[in-house]
């Protein structure tokens, strides 16, 4: 299967992780998105499985992979099945939003590997559909994202039901205090493998560009941008709210573009269909909330548009990491408004670390944000919205702030 899929050599994270995992050590793997972490833990899992006694009636799985979202869990399962079927290893993917009965039936029939979201797995454990008595290989994928989503209590409940002599693998894109605390409690003398910077860093193969506009101009500018840059390649557009995602999707469709939308209020069947259409290229434009910010592994996304700036820099890094995967290059375009002043210094750090040009407007916003911090201490208009202060002093004339879309994106398109 490895030869059939054309793998020429392991990625850096795989090269470092495989010998460590195969020697039985606990491991903490830190690497950017799209670096090959999934096979970094899946292929050693198969070697581990083949060394264990066969499953008996009533036994639970031997390998457990925890993931933060159903999309990521399904994606890991799809990857696992490619390599498990040829060696007669059974997998099961359990997540909320789909038939509980079919998942129960699979588990009771006996499976070697379970890939699960924490909430649904605990539900199935409560109904005794399976047990974790045979778990000797535990994977926490996107651990930082699971903690960000508030899954720490569920993760703890799951781990407490596994064997104390298990091998534990934790994979994360960031190394924050929450992740460090969890690792210190549940991993035994782990070896840390870090590819790239320990601090938050973007994929260097993503060309990061910015458009500085007013909030009320964003929809019209988005349509202009898609008109200019759409050439049949896949475009992924991130929005901060479900309602906003629906509005963007409607606006693009009304403008003649075959856009589809994915967010948490969609049924699982709808989400699966949208992902299938986007993956196949039948609908090359997808609008999404942050349900698609991590784990979405589609190699040929060429452009990510941040319609809304996220609330933290880690999410920004993961969003733009949906492009430039598997060694390819890609681009991102982020709409920056006066309300996003709070993110300017973090964005500048990301650009400097990636050796990319820092726009003059970002430098101005950093300087303004520094002054703003002092201003907030004595002014009741603090916080993200910045009230009258941010919009008035920063924006100046609308012309100087918005710029010329056509000229800006001729340069961006050529790059």
Predicted pLDDT at 372: 61
Intervals of the chain under pLDDT 50:
375-405, 408-409, 411-412
| CA atoms 97, 99, 101, 104: torsion sign | negative
Predicted pLDDT at 188: 94
Q: Pick the closest to residue 275 from 31, 69, 91, 4 (CA basis).
A: 69
Q: For residue 168, give the 3-state DSSP assignment.
A: strand
Predicted pLDDT at 161: 96
Q: And the tokens for 48?
A: 């581990």
Q: Pick the closest to residue 31 from 117, 177, 149, 142 (CA basis).
A: 142
Alpha-carbon gap, residue 85 to 363, rounded angstroms: 53
Dump pLDDT digits (tens) for 369-384: 887 655 444 443 344 3
What residues pair up with 288 in beta bridges, in sequence order?
Answer: 238, 262
Contact 257, 283 (CB under 8 A): no
Dump pLDDT digits (tens) for 303-352: 999 999 998 888 898 899 889 877 788 999 999 999 999 999 999 999 99
Contact 248, 285 (CB under 8 A): no
Q: Which residue has the tokens 């994929």?
A: 203
Give pTM, 2 decimals.
0.67
Dump pLDDT digits (tens) for 175-217: 778 888 999 999 999 999 988 766 677 888 899 999 999 999 9
Q: Enumerate domains of the chain plus CATH numbers.
A: 12-194 (3.40.50.300), 206-414 (3.40.50.300)
């Amino acid at each position: 299967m490895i030869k059939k899929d054309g793998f020429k050599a392991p990625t850096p994270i795989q090269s470092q992780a495989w010998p460590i995992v195969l020697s039985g050590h606990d491991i903490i793997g830190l690497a950017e998105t799209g670096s090959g972490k999934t096979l970094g833990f899946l292929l050693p899992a198969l070697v581990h499985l083949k060394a264990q006694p066969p499953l008996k009636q009533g036994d639970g799985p031997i390998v457990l992979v925890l993931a933060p979202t159903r999309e990521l869990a399904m994606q890991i399962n799809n990857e696992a099945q490619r390599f498990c079927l040829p060696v007669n290893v059974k997998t099961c993917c359990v997540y909320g939003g789909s038939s509980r009965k079919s998942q129960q039936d699979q588990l009771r029939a006996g499976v070697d590997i379970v890939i699960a979201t924490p909430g649904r797995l605990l539900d199935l454990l409560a109904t005794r559909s399976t047990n974790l008595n045979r778990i000797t290989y535990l994977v926490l994928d996107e651990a930082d994202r699971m903690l960000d989503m508030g899954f720490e209590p569920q993760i703890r409940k799951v781990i407490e039901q596994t064997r104390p002599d298990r091998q534990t693998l934790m994979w994360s894109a960031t190394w924050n205090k929450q992740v460090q605390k969890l690792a210190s409690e549940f991993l035994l003398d782990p070896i840390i493998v870090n590819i790239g910077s320990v601090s938050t860093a973007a994929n260097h193969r993503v060309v990061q560009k910015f458009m500085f506009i007013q909030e009320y101009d964003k929809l019209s500018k988005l349509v202009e941008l898609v008109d200019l840059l759409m050439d049949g390649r896949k475009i992924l557009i991130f929005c901060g709210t479900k309602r906003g995602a629906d509005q963007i999707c409607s606006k693009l469709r009304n403008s003649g573009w075959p856009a589809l939308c994915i967010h948490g209020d969609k049924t699982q069947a709808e989400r699966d269909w949208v992902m299938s259409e986007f993956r196949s290229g039948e609908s090359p434009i997808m609008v999404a909330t942050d349900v698609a910010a991590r784990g979405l592994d589609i190699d040929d996304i060429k452009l990510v548009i941040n319609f809304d700036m996220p609330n933290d820099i880690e999410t920004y890094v993961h969003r733009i990491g949906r492009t430039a995967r598997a060694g390819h290059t890609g681009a991102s375009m982020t709409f920056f408004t006066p309300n996003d002043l709070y993110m300017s210094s973090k964005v500048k750090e990301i650009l400097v670390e990636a050796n990319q040009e820092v726009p003059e407007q970002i430098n101005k916003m950093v300087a303004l944000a520094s002054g703003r911090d002092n201003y907030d201490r004595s002014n009741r208009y603090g916080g993200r919205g910045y009230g009258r202060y941010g919009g008035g002093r920063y924006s100046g004339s609308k012309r100087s702030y918005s710029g010329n879309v056509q000229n800006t994106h001729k340069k961006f398109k050529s790059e």
